[in-house]
């Protein structure tokens, strides 16, 4: 595990040391590769039991979720166990406005969904962010469950347990076909009979949705980076470190916590909207509290506060059960065990933010120094 982490950090260091043009070229190459993954179908990685494009879509979708929740948990230190509630509100806003009770085009539904979740984030956060941190966990858990129960019971609005179907797709612009690769062992062949239309959104092909999700991931990542590297990011970090001291240094901690909570909620809403348009059919069963825990697991496993870590964890935790189908029954059992083991053995996560790694290295050095001193 340490070897993997060191490798990844090593890659990060190397990358940072490169000249600017090389960074740009490499980043573009990596991005192109990620976009082309479902076309390339790389052996070993590709899933045989389920549609690889659909699996990748889920990976990107949950990466988006993890980035949003990472702002709440990783940056601001607020344990939100009701994130699925925002996800559900986003999805159902799109469903209600785009299909059940309206006919609004998707591209308009999505910003509305984000606005609605942002607003619900503020409504839930404003009273509860003042209470102790561990109460917040329970309140948000309750919130997630309230949302689900309301979805089930308010059939007039949400279709109850039947759910909503015929959710609008994004507008298509059919330009050209992209043939997939098929692998014979490790030899690739172009399969002209199997093409993805660029860019045609439909139930039969998940790949355009994957591209859409991935694009959103990149956009949100960029904004996330800008927020973190600013006064806002510093205020979050200070608040997480020592709330009273931060407040006494002039940080309006409540306002910043609310900002993190609401921003996270809006990203959750965006993810939910994306989920709804991909599925085209949603019902309350898609939004049980189990998912909240899954999302938290992604952030904690990835390393709270490290955007790349949580993306990696989201992708891994989504991909692994699809790849290893025989384990899917025990999925939540494994989550439970992993969470416990992580809390006990690696509380900082698989890929902790650079800061904790630095701190740890420095601690080790101190220990060495102290031991040295003790021997003298």
Partner 1 sequence: MDLLLNNFWELTITGLAYGAIYALIALGYTLVYGVLRLINFAHSEVFMYGGFAAVWVLTAIGATKATGLGTAGFLVVAFATAMAMSALVALVLEFVAYRPLRKRNSPPLIALISAIGASYTLSEAMGLRDKPFKWFGKDQDLVRYVGRPREASPFPLNIEVKRLFYVFDYHVSNIDLIVLGAAIIMMIGLDQFVSRSRLGRGIRAVAQDPESAALMGVNRDRVIRLTFVLGGAMAGAAAVMYLLKVGQIRYNSGFILGVKAFTAAVLGGIGNLRGALLGGFILGVAENYGQAVFGGEWKDVVAFTLLVVILLFRPTGLLGESLGKARA
Partner 2 sequence: MSDTKAGASSADETRGARVDDDTPLSPDEDARPDTSVDISVDAVTDLPKGKMLEVDDVTLRFGGVTALDGVSFHINTGEILGLIGPNGAGKTTCFNVMTGVYQPTSGDVKFMGEALGKRKKFQITKLGIARTFQNIRLFHNMTALENVLVGADAHHSTGMGSALLRLPKHHSEEREGMDRAYELLKFMGLEKRADELARNLPYGDQRRLEIARALATNPKLLCLDEPAAGFNPAEKARLMELIRSIRDQGYTVLLIEHDMKLVMGVTDRIVVLEFGKKIAEGVPAEIQDNPAVIAAYLGVDEDAS
Q: Considering only residues 237, 270, 293, 314, which one is a binding residue for partner 2 as defined by CB under 8 A?
A: 237
Least separation in angstroms between residue 193's CB and partner 2 is 45
Q: Considering only residues 23, 189, 231, 325, which one is a binding residue for partner 2 as defined by CB under 8 A?
A: 231
The footprint of partner 1 (CB under 8 A) covers: 77, 79, 81, 124, 127-128, 130-135, 137-139, 141-143, 145-146, 149-150, 152-153, 244-245, 248, 289, 293, 296, 300, 329-330, 332-333, 335-344, 347
Least separation in angstroms between residue 367's CB and partner 2 is 10
Smaller CB separation from partner 2, 6 or 366: 366
DSSP 96: I
Q: Are 86 and 292 in contact (CB under 8 A)?
A: no
Instruction: Please count the other Cβ atoms lying within 10 Å of the Cβ belonging to residue 336.
Output: 13
Smaller CB separation from partner 2, 149 or 368: 368
d(CA 149, CA 232): 35
Could you say which residues in the range 259-288 bind partner 2, by CB under 8 A? 259, 263
DSSP 182: E
Helix (H) or strand (E) holding 189: strand 187-198
Least separation in angstroms between residue 245's CB and partner 2 is 4
362 binds partner 2 (CB under 8 A): yes
111 binds partner 2 (CB under 8 A): no
Q: Considering only residues 26, 30, 31, 249, which one is a binding residue for partner 2 as defined by CB under 8 A?
A: 249
Helix extents (H) in the chain:
2-17, 20-40, 52-70, 83-95, 106-128, 133-153, 155-158, 207-228, 231-241, 243-248, 253-279, 289-302, 307-323, 331-345, 354-375
Q: Considering only residues 244, 345, 375, 376, which one is a binding residue for partner 2 as defined by CB under 8 A?
A: 244
Taking each helix axis as running N to C, give the angle between helix 307-323 and helix 289-302, from 0 to 180 degrees, rounded to the nearest 10. Answer: 120
d(CA 217, CA 66): 10
234 binds partner 2 (CB under 8 A): yes
Q: Pick the stretch among 92-100, 114-122, 131-139, 365-373 that binds partner 2 (CB under 8 A).
A: 365-373
Q: Locate 239 and state its tokens.
A: 């608040």
Beta pairing, strands 176-184 & 187-198:
antiparallel
Least separation in angstroms between residue 157's CB and partner 1 is 14
Phi and psi at 147, nearest 5°, equal -60, -45
Q: Considering only residues 108, 178, 181, 232, which one is a binding residue for partner 2 as defined by CB under 8 A?
A: 232
Number of residues that bind partner 2 (CB under 8 A): 39
Q: Are 174 and 111 in contact (CB under 8 A)?
A: no
Smaller CB separation from partner 2, 35 or 254: 254
Cβ neighbours of residue 128 under 8 Å, at least 6 residues apart? Answer: 135, 136, 139, 140
d(CA 226, CA 329): 40
From the list partner 2, partner 1, none, which binds 142 (C-beta under 5 to 8 Å, kind-based)? partner 1
Least separation in angstroms between residue 374's CB and partner 1 is 22
Binding site for partner 2 (CB under 8 A): 13, 16, 223, 226-227, 229-235, 237-238, 241-242, 244-253, 259, 263, 354-356, 358-359, 361-363, 365-366, 369
């Amino acid at each position: 595990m340490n070897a993997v982490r060191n490798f990844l950090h090593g890659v990060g260091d190397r990358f940072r040391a490169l000249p600017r043009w090389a960074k740009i070229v490499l980043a573009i190459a990596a991005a192109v590769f990620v976009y082309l993954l479902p076309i390339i179908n790389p052996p070993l990685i590709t899933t045989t039991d389920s549609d690889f494009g659909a699996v990748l879509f889920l990976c990107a979708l949950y990466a988006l979720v993890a980035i949003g929740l990472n702002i709440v948990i990783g940056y601001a230190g607020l344990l939100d166990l009701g994130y699925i509630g925002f996800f559900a509100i986003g999805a159902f806003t799109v469903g209600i406005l785009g299909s059940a009770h309206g006919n609004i085009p998707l591209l308009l539904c999505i910003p509305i969904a984000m606005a609605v979740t942002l607003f619900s984030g503020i409504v839930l956060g404003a009273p509860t962010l003042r209470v102790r941190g561990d109460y917040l966990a329970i309140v948000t858990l309750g919130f997630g469950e309230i949302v689900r129960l309301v979805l089930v019971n308010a059939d007039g609005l949400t279709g109850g347990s039947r759910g909503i179907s015929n959710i609008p797709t994004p507008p298509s612009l059919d330009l050209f076909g992209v043939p997939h690769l098929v692998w014979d062992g490790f030899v690739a062949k172009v399969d002209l009979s199997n093409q993805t239309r660029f860019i045609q959104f439909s139930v039969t092909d998940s790949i355009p949705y994957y591209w859409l999700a991935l694009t959103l991931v990149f956009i949100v990542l960029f904004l996330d980076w800008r927020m973190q590297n600013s006064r806002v990011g510093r205020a979050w970090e200070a608040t997480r470190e020592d709330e009273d001291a931060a407040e006494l240094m002039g940080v309006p901690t409540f306002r910043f916590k609310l900002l993190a909570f609401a921003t996270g909620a809006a990203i959750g809403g965006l993810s939910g909207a994306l989920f709804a348009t991909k599925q085209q059919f949603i019902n309350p069963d898609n939004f049980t509290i189990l998912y909240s825990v899954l999302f938290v697991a992604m952030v904690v496993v990835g390393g709270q506060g490290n955007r790349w870590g949580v993306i990696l964890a989201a992708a891994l935790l989504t991909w692994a059960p699809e790849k290893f189908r025989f384990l899917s029954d025990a999925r939540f059992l494994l989550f439970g065990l992993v969470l416990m083991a992580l809390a006990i053995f690696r509380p900082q996560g698989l890929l902790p933010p650079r800061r904790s790694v630095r701190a740890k290295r420095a601690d080790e050095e101190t220990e060495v120094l102290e031991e040295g001193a003790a021997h003298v």
